[in-house]
Structure 1
Amino acid sequence: MILIGLGSNRSGPWGTPLQTVSRAVLALNQAGIRLRQASRLVVSAPFGRVGQPDFVNAVARVDTQLTPRQLLSRLHQIERRAGRRRTLRWGPRTLDLDLLDYHGLILRRGSGPVLPHPGIESRIFVLAPIAEIAPLWRHPEGRQTAAMLLRRLDPASGGRLL
């Protein structure tokens, strides 16, 4: 199973954050990527850096023959089309696309993506959408489902569904 995290908290060429995430979901269904399912949208407080607008988040399940490195490159291309400029870590952005999991592959730091994406297990805005669209998914390292991981987190920090 391949999972992609989507997020936006700044308007850009694709519109408001809500419009941008919705359009990004559709953009995942082209250029060698096939969208299988997308979660409902979640509004959540920013992670890592406060003092910025709330995020609109979602998770998509996709299929592709692209390698993890090629897929991540394709995701970065979509981000750039949506006006993303990488300047401030965890700062406001028009679109953030994260490769969360690629068929359970575990890759450490190197020249390619880190898999699974670090921090999945501590982010309600990622786990709740995963639990919605992929209830049988298990974290590649701890083998816990998203629902199991969610039970360990404070629900007050999670955001609200749209």
Structure 2
Amino acid sequence: MDKIKIRGLEIWAKHGVFPEENVLGQKFVISADLYTNTRSAGKSDDLTQSIHYGEVCQFMKTFMEEHTYQLIETVAEKLAEELLLVFEHLQGIRLEIAKPWAPVGLPLDTVSVEISRFWHRAYLALGSNLGDKEAYLRQGIQGLQDRKDCRVTAVSSFLRTAPYGGVAQDDFLNACLELDTLLTPEELLDVMHEIEQEAGRERLIHWGPRTLDLDIIFYDDIVYDTPELHIPHIDMQNRDFVLNPLAELCPAYRHPLLKKTVEELKNALTEPEEAHAK
């Protein structure tokens, strides 16, 4: 990915663990790599197609001056998030914040914190088979859209499907959505659980009825496995109620383990039924 580099921006601000640092202030030095696609701007010579690095520098200066934090780790985290939220073409950032006068009582050049943060693309599955199913799905979508660190960029059709897992219950209403997010997979999972709880979700029976069910299907192209979370979703290739709406959004998206596209997985699931019908 292309990047615009900012090096050695000096700012006087009030951040630090010691009270005098928050009163008197000190010098901070910021360096940043702004990850973006510069091709459109390069071909058109149009600044609106790129990131105005002068505005970015002024934004960082104002942010540093108007806020006070004890840790430069917090300064870096908050500043990176705000930059990613404010600047349209910014897809990611590597940010280093240095304290040349760090009060450690020993001779040193500088102490710094460096982080990298990016927008991530995730695909989620939604389901409901209790009460007003469509209202619950829309509540789940809105719950994500209401967060500043999540952007719902596309939603599939709502599809009525038979229940999965052998538990006798009403039919489901299912959908998938495309999401850009600053959250990590674990943070996104926590947010999804909060949204489910707000919709009255109760986890009483495995594969049982629920007001709202949210699952992460893909998150970028990562393979992630913990006791609480599996990415890609561990059983998505066997679920037509996931593959059908997902194919509306990203038919060419390739499963990082199975090496097949969503469209190929969908076709593989329906082909045996079609062959048996013949």
TM-score (norm 2): 0.52
The structural deviation recorded for 1:42 is 0.7
Q: Secondary structure at the match of 1:151?
A: helix
Q: Which residue of 2 aligns with 1:153?
A: 269
Q: Which residue of 1 aligns with 2:134?
A: 18
Q: Which residue of 2 aligns with 1:122?
A: 238
Richer in helix (by share): 2
Aligned residue type for 2:201: R
Does residue 39 in structure 1 map to residue 159 in structure 2?
Answer: no
Q: Which residue, 254, 259, 262 being the options, matches 1:143?
A: 259
Q: Which residue, 238, 247, 255 being the options, matches 1:131?
A: 247
Does residue 93 in structure 1 map to residue 210 in structure 2?
Answer: yes
Structure whose alpha-carbon radius of gyration is higher: 2
**Residue 24 to residue 142, structure 1, CA distance change in 2 (3 Å):** same
Q: Secondary structure at the match of 2:151?
A: strand
Q: Which residue of 1 aligns with 2:122?
A: 2
**Residue 33 to residue 143, structure 1, CA distance change in 2 (3 Å):** same
1:22 and 1:156 map into 2 onto residues whose CA distance is 33
**Residue 2 to residue 77, structure 1, CA distance change in 2 (3 Å):** same
2:230 and 2:263 map into 1 onto residues whose CA distance is 23
Which string of whole-angstrom CA distances, capped at 9 and with x for unpartnered residues, describes residues 6-26 of structure 1? 000012xxxx01211122222
Q: Secondary structure at the match of 2:268?
A: coil
The alignment-based identity, stated in percent, is: 37
4+ aligned runs moved over 6 Å, structure 1: none
The structural deviation recorded for 1:155 is 7.2
What's the RMSD between the two structures over aligned residues?
A: 1.7
1:38 and 1:130 map into 2 onto residues whose CA distance is 9
Q: Secondary structure at the match of 1:28?
A: helix
Alignment of 1:32-71 (within 5 A): 32-71=149-188
**Residue 129 to residue 156, structure 1, CA distance change in 2 (3 Å):** farther
Richer in strand (by share): 2
1:5 and 1:132 map into 2 onto residues whose CA distance is 12
Aligned residue type for 1:51: A
**Residue 9 to residue 156, structure 1, CA distance change in 2 (3 Å):** farther
Q: Which residue of 2 aligns with 1:28?
A: 144
Does residue 77 in structure 1 map to residue 194 in structure 2?
Answer: yes
2:257 and 2:230 map into 1 onto residues whose CA distance is 13
Q: Which residue, 202, 219, 222 being the options, matches 1:105?
A: 222
Aligned residue type for 1:49: G
| Maintained 8 Å contact 2:122/2:220 | yes
Aligned residue type for 1:127: L
The structural deviation recorded for 1:142 is 1.2
Q: Secondary structure at the match of 2:231?
A: coil
Q: Which structure has the higher relative contact order (CA within 8 Å, separation 6+)?
A: 1
Query: Any unmatched runs of 5+ in structure 2?
Result: 1-120, 274-278
1:97 and 1:40 map into 2 onto residues whose CA distance is 16
**Residue 36 to residue 25, structure 1, CA distance change in 2 (3 Å):** same
1:155 and 1:40 map into 2 onto residues whose CA distance is 22
